[in-house]
Every structure is written in C-alpha cells, then in structure tokens.
Amino acid sequence: MRQKAARFGVTLMMAGTLAVGALAAATPASATASGWAPYQGFRTLTNCVKAGTAKLVMENYKEYDCRWDSPFYMLWLRK
C-alpha cells in the first residue's frame, strides 16, 4: 500500500513539473499578445520579486511574473 501511495505522489509531482515547464516555455510573442511586457532582468529571484512587488504598489500594475531567462530572471508586468 505504501508503494502505491509513493508512486502516486511521484506521478503527481512529475505532472506538476511538466505543467509548470509548459507555462514557463511560452514564447515572448504569446506573452506580449496577452498583455505582458518584459521590464528588466535580475540576477536573483528575490530581487525580481521585490521589483515586481514595488511596481504593483508604485505604478498600478495588476500582475507581475518572474521567469527564468538564462542567465537571469526576467520581470514581466501586466497592466
């Protein structure tokens, strides 16, 4: 019984990883078509999140997203 639960957990984890990977792999063209605009690249995810939060508060953006775009995290904003 434990093995079935462990296999199910691994299957769920793999499915989640594939779903997140598909979202992260979206092309910039499709992102800009849906209202997202690239803003700036950051070396760390923490700095990207801080900048995104500041943009929400100071400049009335509705959403932000930090996506890995080697070699940095790109901050995307949507009004």
pLDDT at 16: 46
Residue 54 and residue 62 in contact, taking contact as beta carbons nearer than 8 Å: no
Domain region containing 22: 2-78
For the entire predicted model, the pTM comes to 0.59
Amino acid, single-letter form, for residue 66: C
DSSP codes joined into one string, 40-75: EEESSHHHHHHHHHHHHHHH--SEEEEEEETTEEEE
Counting the structural domains of the chain, the total is 1
pLDDT at 28: 61
* Per-residue pLDDT tens digits of the chain, which is 79 residues long: 555 555 555 444 554 444 444 445 555 666 666 889 999 999 999 999 999 999 999 998 999 999 999 999 999 999 8
